[in-house]
Amino acid sequence: MLLKGYIWLLLCYAQNARSNLIEEYEAISRHFVLPEIRTGEPLPVELGVDRYSGCICRASHDRQLVVCFGNYECTRFPQVKIQSEILRVRTTVMVKILRGQLNTLNHLKILEIEANHKLQYIEPGIFENLKNLQHLSISYNTRLHSINERLFEGLSNLRNLTLVNNGFNNILDLTPAFRPSILPLLRWLDVSENPLEIIPEHAFHPMKGTLLRKLDVNLCRLDEIHPNSFLVLKNLKELHLGDNDLNSTLIGDFLNRMMIEGINLTNLDVSGMGFRKQPPRELMNIIARSTIKSLILAQNQFEIIHDDAFPRMPNIELLDLRKVLCISIEGNAFSPSKFPNLKVLLLSGNNLPGVHKKHLSDQLLLLDMSSNKGNPANPVYYEIDRDTFLLCKSLRILNLSFNRIKSIFDYTFNGLVNLRILSLENGTIYHIGDGTFKSMKRLIVLNLANNPLTATENLTSSQFDGLNELKMLNMQNCGIRHFYDDDNMFEMMPNLTHLILRNNLLYYITAETLKPLKFLQVLDLSQNLLISWWRPLFLVSGVKPKTLYFTNNKISHFSISMIEDISYLLENRGNVTVEIDFMNNVFLCECSSMYKAYLWLQANGTKSIQKFFDDSNFQCSSPDPWEDRRVAEYLSSIRHLRCLVYQKISNVMVLVWTAPSLVSIMLVVSVVVILYKYRDYIRYWLFLAKLALGRNFRKKTISPKISPTGYKFDAFVSYCSEDREFVSEMLVQLESNPPNLKLCVYERDFEIGSFISESVQTSINESKYVILVISNNFAKSQWCRWETQLAEYHRLFLEDGSAYDPLVLVKLGDIEGKYLTTTLKYLLKTKVYHSWDENNTEEFWKKLRKVLMKNS
């Protein structure tokens, strides 16, 4: 898609003036250097079900795009009331489109009728009202085998017509419909992916006089084209014949005829044509004499490109040799004497082991050497010779991404004084030498994403020296943990507008780091480990991006500093739309984390910050009652009184520290009260501590006397008395049948008179596994809760990274949500459990036995 963008760009370049080239590069580079960040619903406006057709329709915010679909119910062409520019009707089950059904669509500029797998018939006359339509696609409707020759009547402004992948199998049935008397402005026709097989001599005769510039007939199983067939297309400039089965003689024949007739092609696509060893020489000679500027030979097979692979081809500006399985290129294959006008050379997707000076001619503007990983069976590091680019003074775009480049040095990119875009993404770059980018004074876009840059070294400013004009930097997934303020790399790039730091390991960023980035507009810090910040970042650094992503971090509190930053970013922005995204953090919706921010908002909040919160969607992650509810909702419902009490207590605590004598009595009293109130918990925690100590102790002094594995029992069974029957069955099943496991069940096995929780503790310690029989009753009873937690802690204490997990869950029936404790919920969410199945008891016991036999 992006590479298509490339080619398209270059076609533009070939036709248009040179002046806006760079702006176009930039526009495109923005797409590929900046990852798609917004995951929001692309068609947010629901228009509901159209009564007439049964289709569901949605629209974009501005209502310029409407899409209608409906896999089962959508049986007719939908009646859309909105005056949109673009309408897509796809994946419906309509069989026919009838006259009149499109009559209200005269505002449409683009109409796409695609992937309607039952569509068989389109009645002529349906487009009679669509005078404004410029682009029509009727594609991927595989049951549509023919069209009426008067079908397109009315489309007097249509420029692009796409009829890809329908069931058309004869071009003679199609062309009468494209007559210039019906489609006077048609410029681009795409009939790719239809099984046409042959283009006979008179195929395009009905189109005599057409202004058609571009014709696509890719992947049509063509093995024959009559040499005269294109001659009526006098204005044809671009011909795309990729992925057919045409031999080179045949292609040469019709090209020759076209040249004689004065049809001056500029673009020829003969990719995927099965050419082998060398570009077919005769055909290359013919092309060399033609006006063709852009030659696409991709996906053929030329392992070695020799010096004399091509004749002198003075008109060629773009040569596409992507995916031709090339392993080596001789030094003069693309020399300026052969290709004096070559501007774009695409060599990506081959097996070239590196790039060498001799490959490059100095008039190149764009070089794509990406995705060359050497012989796939024996991958090697990608080599770039010293001073390879020394003469490439014109090069604007260099793509070296997806290569196994190890390191880059100050001599690697020497000479690239006019480079604007450099992509090094998905390499294996772990070393950037000082001054590597120094010669690229005019670099605008640098993509370093997905390289282990910080594996062995820190990022320093001297590495990025010279990037004065850099505007976009992508360092996504580079393992970055810190930026160092005493050696701030961003001081080297004061003109940066886009900074992508997504998916690193940053847990903080300082105002000092950001300070040099005065022009920053987009900052993406999503997927890091950032926590809340307690000193303003943006306010202090004076950096004011308009788009800011903090999604997927570890932000829990709304500090006053954060609120001040947000406020700073939102205020006085004129008509700039500011976007600050905090989705998927771990906000704690409690007085301690939000109350101060709440007070600040009450006192100092402006309309715009109020709106920011109102429109926001980021959610609390705890405590339980607020889980998955909006932070904004929490803020607006903060219970003043409750948080006030909280604050008073905090203040008291402060007082306690400062004025001991006065409050100490109160303190003692409250401590006693608290101790009393939480005595159960305290006992519990003491107990756990004891357990922990016991565990550690036992681990060290494990006595081999107990059993060969160190355990007296194979499993401790925790259950509640209501499930006694089930447990008896379990005893029979597991103890009486081989391998005769030994279980500890407290009603039977506890020594009479020993304090019950101590016995539990001891027994758990002496059991290899702990089986929890989880039922509704189990969840309900306090005692069982106690045991669950115990067992869970037992597990935690033992966890040492081995695969052995002592907890085995058996679920008896469904459990009511209200009885589930946090621990139990967590366990059921994170662990595999065995559900009791009355209809398949054999299987159940077998599985359980197997689990308990593991690790013995």
Ligand X SMILES: *[C@@H]1O[C@H](CO)[C@@H](O)[C@H](O)[C@H]1NC(C)=O
Interface with ligand X by CB under 6 A: which residues? 2, 32, 110, 134-135, 159-160, 188, 214, 224, 234, 247, 249-250, 262, 264, 348, 368, 370-371, 399, 401-402, 421, 423, 426, 450, 457-458, 468-469, 477, 484, 494-495, 574-576, 599-600, 603-604
Contacts of 214 by beta carbon, 8 Å cutoff, 6+ apart: 187, 188, 189, 236, 237, 238, 239, 240, 267
**Min separation Cβ 276 and ligand X, Å:** 12
Instruction: Round to whole Å and give the CA distance between 239 and 293.
Output: 12
| Cα atoms in the Cβ-side hemisphere of radius 13 Å centred on 770 | 25
Q: Which is nearer to ligand X, 574 or 738 (CB)?
A: 574
Query: How many degrees, rounded to 5, is the angle at CA 611 between CA 548 and CA 634?
Result: 90
Q: Which is nearer to ligand X, 390 or 560 (CB)?
A: 560
Question: Which two structure tokens, joined as six digits, stand for 672?
Answer: 């006693």
Check: CB of residue 468 under 8 Å from CB of residue 443. Answer: no
- The separation between the first and the last C-alpha atoms of the chain, rounded to the nearest angstrom, is 56
**Min separation Cβ 536 and ligand X, Å:** 11
**Min separation Cβ 145 and ligand X, Å:** 26
Residue appearing with tokens 């690193």: 504
Q: Which is nearer to ligand X, 287 or 760 (CB)?
A: 287
Listed residue (397, 394, 453, 452) closest to 423, CA to CA: 397
**Min separation Cβ 223 and ligand X, Å:** 6
Q: Which is nearer to ligand X, 576 or 702 (CB)?
A: 576
Please provide residue 113's backbone torsions phi and psi, each rounded to the nearest 5 degrees. -115, 95
Residue appearing with tokens 């590929």: 32
Question: Which two structure tokens, joined as six digits, stand for 573?
Answer: 């922005």
Question: Which two structure tokens, joined as six digits, stand for 627?
Answer: 């889980």
Q: Which is nearer to ligand X, 140 or 836 (CB)?
A: 140
Q: Which is nearer to ligand X, 186 or 342 (CB)?
A: 186
Question: Which two structure tokens, joined as six digits, stand for 271?
Answer: 């990719």
Q: Which is nearer to ligand X, 83 or 249 (CB)?
A: 249
Q: Which is nearer to ligand X, 294 or 426 (CB)?
A: 426
Instruction: Round to whole Å and give the CA distance between 560 and 7.
Output: 50
Question: Which two structure tokens, joined as six digits, stand for 226?
Answer: 């009559």
Q: Which is nearer to ligand X, 264 or 584 (CB)?
A: 264
**Min separation Cβ 685 and ligand X, Å:** 37
**Min separation Cβ 414 and ligand X, Å:** 21
Q: Which is nearer to ligand X, 458 or 776 (CB)?
A: 458
Q: Which residues of 292-319 are buried (b: 16+ CB within 10 A; e: fewer)?
A: bbbbbbbbbebeebeeebbeebebbbbb
**Min separation Cβ 389 and ligand X, Å:** 16
Residue 529: exposure state from Cβ atoms within 10 A (0-12, 13-18, ≥19): middle
Contacts of 35 by beta carbon, 8 Å cutoff, 6+ apart: 449, 474, 476, 500, 502
| Cα atoms in the Cβ-side hemisphere of radius 13 Å centred on 256 | 13
Helix, strand, coil percentages for the chain (3-state, nearest 5): 30, 15, 55
Instruction: Round to whole Å and give the CA distance between 793 and 789.
Output: 6
**Min separation Cβ 551 and ligand X, Å:** 18
Q: Which is nearer to ligand X, 151 or 161 (CB)?
A: 161
**Rg of the chain over CA atoms, in angstroms?**
36
The single-letter DSSP state of residue 151 is T
Instruction: Round to whole Å and give the CA distance between 727 and 741.
Output: 14
**Min separation Cβ 719 and ligand X, Å:** 46
Q: Which is nearer to ligand X, 461 or 495 (CB)?
A: 495
Instruction: Round to whole Å and give the CA distance between 299 and 323.
Output: 5
**Min separation Cβ 450 and ligand X, Å:** 4
**Min separation Cβ 788 and ligand X, Å:** 39
Q: Which is nearer to ligand X, 79 or 407 (CB)?
A: 407
Q: How far is CA 215 from CA 114, 161, 169, 204, 269, in A?
A: 20, 10, 17, 11, 11
Residue appearing with tokens 């709440």: 598
**Min separation Cβ 267 and ligand X, Å:** 11
Helix (H) or strand (E) holding 674: helix 660-677
**Min separation Cβ 7 and ligand X, Å:** 11
Instruction: Round to whole Å and give the CA distance between 122 and 138.
Output: 10
**Min separation Cβ 563 and ligand X, Å:** 9
Contacts of 770 by beta carbon, 8 Å cutoff, 6+ apart: 715, 716, 718, 764, 791, 794, 795, 806, 807, 808
Q: Which is nearer to ligand X, 399 or 765 (CB)?
A: 399
Q: Which is nearer to ligand X, 486 or 838 (CB)?
A: 486
Count CB neighbours of 401 within 10 A. Answer: 23
Which residue's Cβ has the minimum distance to ligand X? Answer: 574
> What is the amino acid identity at position 839?
N
Residue appearing with tokens 């080179």: 248
**Min separation Cβ 451 and ligand X, Å:** 8
**Min separation Cβ 372 and ligand X, Å:** 9
DSSP for 192-260 reads TTS---EE-TTTTGGGTT----EEE--SS---EE-TTGGGG-TT--EEE--SS---HHHHHHHHHHHHH
Q: Which is nearer to ligand X, 322 or 712 (CB)?
A: 322
Q: Which is nearer to ligand X, 465 or 723 (CB)?
A: 465
Question: Which two structure tokens, joined as six digits, stand for 388?
Answer: 């390879």
**Min separation Cβ 540 and ligand X, Å:** 13
**Min separation Cβ 108 and ligand X, Å:** 11
User: Computed from CA positions of residues 483, 488, 491, 493, in that sequence, does the dihedral angle turn out positive or negative?
Assistant: negative
Q: Which is nearer to ligand X, 136 or 745 (CB)?
A: 136
Provide the β-strand partners of residue 366: 344, 397
User: Computed from CA positions of residues 657, 661, 665, 666, in that sequence, does the dihedral angle turn out positive or negative?
Assistant: negative
Listed residue (373, 478, 494, 498) closest to 432, CA to CA: 478
The length of the chain in residues reads 856
